[in-house]
Structure 1
């Protein structure tokens, strides 16, 4: 039998993960990885370390789903990686999410199907939005700020003797943008 490893996360510096860690240890975790990072943050080094630490036969436990993943598809990716490594997964606040049992595996399979469905719907809506924008003559991206008129205005102001800093302040661009325009 492998180790039970816990993962705890809070979103901000003002919060504490002590309660999560205590619950995880109470559930048998011999080691708890804990970090203060937003769940939306793609860079979570402690989570990465935790996932690398896990070995075949281990079980990863968390208190709530939102402590681990940003979305259903993100959760699916993490748990799929755990399953490939032979690592179990349990959620203390939701006992149906336990890949060490047949029922838990079934529930996870359903969640995975929902994640796949959500991804397909999102992609379909995105493609519809792009098609509609093209039909209306719009193209993606932000509107272009550097126009022929602004280039001419920058050249005129510079010719009048204004410094690059003064030109940038008057036009509302950064000094670097003004310099790039002048050297182009």
Structure 2
């Protein structure tokens, strides 16, 4: 995995330690591992002195990992595919892709492989408008300009156009906005 600016990491302990009142464990930087299995093996080796032989890993804390990929007892095996994919994206697109995966497409629950997920994201991502006071309105202005919907109208008629109502209707059916990112519904 390529190193990320906000590299994902997990504090890994065991249930036996936790149940005996100890939070003994270690932060594991996922960028140091090439695969899910390599990471799990490193965790098991680290906790190999656990009484009983086979430690039951407990992910007690994590950073920079989407919630759909992790819980206290499991890291999704496709997490490394996700991290390798987002490492190739710029920061704004990383944020948009995470929003898309978590709130629109519900990945990894939708069973897409990461390449299909990225293709679907790229097909519906319209851009980032979060620098504006009203991202939806900013998108609507861009949409009107790109589609030429108001082209050819006399300026007097165009001045009566209700941009706010058009924006509302645009986002009722066809588009959604999350954290300044705009996505089409198709």
Alignment TM class, shorter chain as reference: under 0.3
Higher helix share: 1
Q: Which has the larger radius of gyration?
A: 1
Q: Give me the TM-score of the superposition, normalised by structure 2.
A: 0.24
Q: Which of structures 1 and 2 has the larger relative contact order (alpha carbons within 8 angstroms, sep 6+)?
A: 2
Higher strand share: 2
Q: Give me the TM-score of the superposition, normalised by structure 1.
A: 0.24
